[in-house]
Amino acid sequence: MAGGKIKKEKAKHTSAPYQGGITFHKSKGQHILKNPLLVDTIVQKAGIKSTDVILEIGPGTGNLTKKLLEAGKMVIAVELDSRMVLELQRRFQGTPYSNRLKVIQGDVLKTDLPYFDICVANIPYQISSPLTFKLLFHQPAFRCAIIMFQKEFAMRLVAQPGDKFYCRLSVNTQLYARVSHLLKVGKNNFRPPPKVDSSVVRIEPRKPRPQVNSKEWDGFIRICFIRKNKTLGSIFRLKHVLSLLEKNYKTLQALQSSQNGSLGNTDMGMDISSLGDSKEDQIMEMDDRSDDEMEAEDGDDDGDAEGEVSEFKDKVLGVLKEGQFEEKRASKLSQQEFLYLLSLFNKAGLHFS
């Protein structure tokens, strides 16, 4: 404008500079470990063997990568940011490590992961849940994963029955793996520092894998944790729960009838994945939404079928009574108790997918 100066609005910065010239973007979950003692501790707790192929997710500028290369046979680093890929290549070019580092540029959630023995990762926290289950369903199974998570997410992963953080995520994860908390990590150990503290968790896939249909299991656990502190008797009286179970029951009866009983009697290992989504969708569904969110979804359907005494309702409640689960709560149930209750439902012809 004539006779005046145009004032430029200051942009809101969501990034932080790196002394090497690379800018880190907080919005993309880029928080680089800067504490060398912490890096050493993580590598030590990983228990890496000299023969191990190591998967690193989100290597950033390579601070952890270097220590992993020193400890193992080979490092496969998956990195989405092309700037970080170039930095990794520049950092290790011409060093003894260059032929033992393979960099894959891409989204780890969309990448077909190669064989690896152990996974060590400081990941963007927004992919915590889908990445955890992608790893748990990876074949062949790896020995263990050492992953940096947001502290609250980590507490959910390792929570036990009766704990404050015990939820669907705890139960789903611990079905497929042994999970343990290794160490707490303060926000000042990163550049730029995140808004929350972090924790390092060890995940060891169970071998052999549990013989349970993942779609069926997830549907069952979702219902149990609609309101984790309510009794299972009250949850399985809800109209929409009974409606879902009855629909599945009639569908399976019709299928069994049309196939002349070729499906036979089913148990909790029954493979009815053809009636649901793909394996990839099943993994993505096992999220970590809070119980408050689950209750909000259930809020419009809070009435029960108390006045609609039906044969089907009696069948459902009969299963709870048989296993003495009617007065129990999901927040207090162990893994074995959930598996037992699911087997009782399946034995009665009741399914959740």
Per the annotation, where are the binding residues for S-adenosyl-L-methionine? Answer: 31, 33, 58, 79, 107, 122
Task: Pinpoint the alpha helices (H) of the chain.
Answer: 36-46, 63-71, 82-92, 128-136, 151-158, 168-176, 214-224, 232-235, 239-258, 279-285, 291-298, 311-322, 335-347
- Report the C-alpha gap between 216 and 209 in whole angstroms: 16
Which residue's structure tokens are 């973007």?
25
CB half-sphere exposure, 18, CA atoms < 13 A: 21
User: Cα dist. 270→130, 166, 174, 212, 265 in Å?
Assistant: 25, 27, 21, 8, 9
Tell me the residue type at 40: D
In the annotated binding site, the residues are 31, 33, 58, 79, 107, 122
Residues shown for the chain: 353
**CA triplet 42, 122, 166: central angle to 5 degrees?**
90
Please state, in angstroms and rounded to a whole number, the distance separating the CA atoms of residues 239 and 305. 5
